[in-house]
Amino acid sequence: MDNGRLQNTDPTELQRLLRERTEDLQRVKAEYDNYRKRVRRDRMAVRQIAVANVLRVLLPVLDAVDRTSAHEPMTPGLKDITDTLRTQLGSLDLEAFGKEGDPFDPACHEAVVHHISPDADELICTEILRPGYRLGDQLLRPAHVEVTGPPPSARNLLAGHAEEPHDDAERDDEGPSPPVRPAAPSTWAPSSWRAPPRPLI
């Protein structure tokens, strides 16, 4: 190339050069498009984190407003503050959740009190002590609830020791049982058992 002009005027060579330059431009354009998408995604993530941090700080304010509304008559000023606060926070996609009768979900509920009901098949939220909040799909705070349901199973209470017999009646009547050795240090052992001291050499 001399002074911006091609020395070779072979049509085949020109077509090859044109394809190469076109592919280079397409590759640069694709990289730039990916860069723009990545920057936009990072900005949205930073904004989401900032909004979530601000809303977490404001949750105690919402709790105070709820307590005041429950124990005092709603004056026009208090109602205006409450409505404005909820409207503005709702515009940021803040969503309260937790209703009586909802099935208990440990992913978004925190059980504070458990009432036993032998006839129940599952845990049900019977009282909402403190509402939970979400920001879109992000959990900001779980709901504190009272639940009613069946008693915990014995298997959960034993924490993996259900296969061990609990009394001598469950053992096989094949003669006296062999002496039980203390469990190895790496396994479970009663807290009252202590290994004998090693002799000093």
Residue 189: partners with Cβ closer than 8 Å, 6 or more residues away: 182, 183
- Give the tens place of pLDDT for each residue, 94-103: 999 999 999 9
Could you tell me which residues are beta bridge partners of residue 138?
Answer: 135
**Chain segment 15-40, per-residue pLDDT in tens:** 888 889 999 999 999 999 999 999 99
Task: Tell me the domain boundaries of the chain.
Answer: 95-157
* CA–CA distance, 63 with 48 (Å, rounded to integer): 22
The CA distance from 6 to 199, in Å, is 94
* Residue range 95-157, CATH number: 2.30.22.10
- Identify the residue with better confidence: 152 or 79: 79
Question: Encoding tokens for residue 30?
Answer: 């694709």
Rounded alpha-carbon distances, angstroms, from residue 35 to 28, 38, 41, 106 = 11, 5, 10, 39
Averaged pLDDT score across all residues of the chain: 77
Assign residue 98 a region (left: φ > 0; alpha: ψ between -120 and 50; beta: otherwise).
left
CA–CA distance, 186 with 50 (Å, rounded to integer): 45
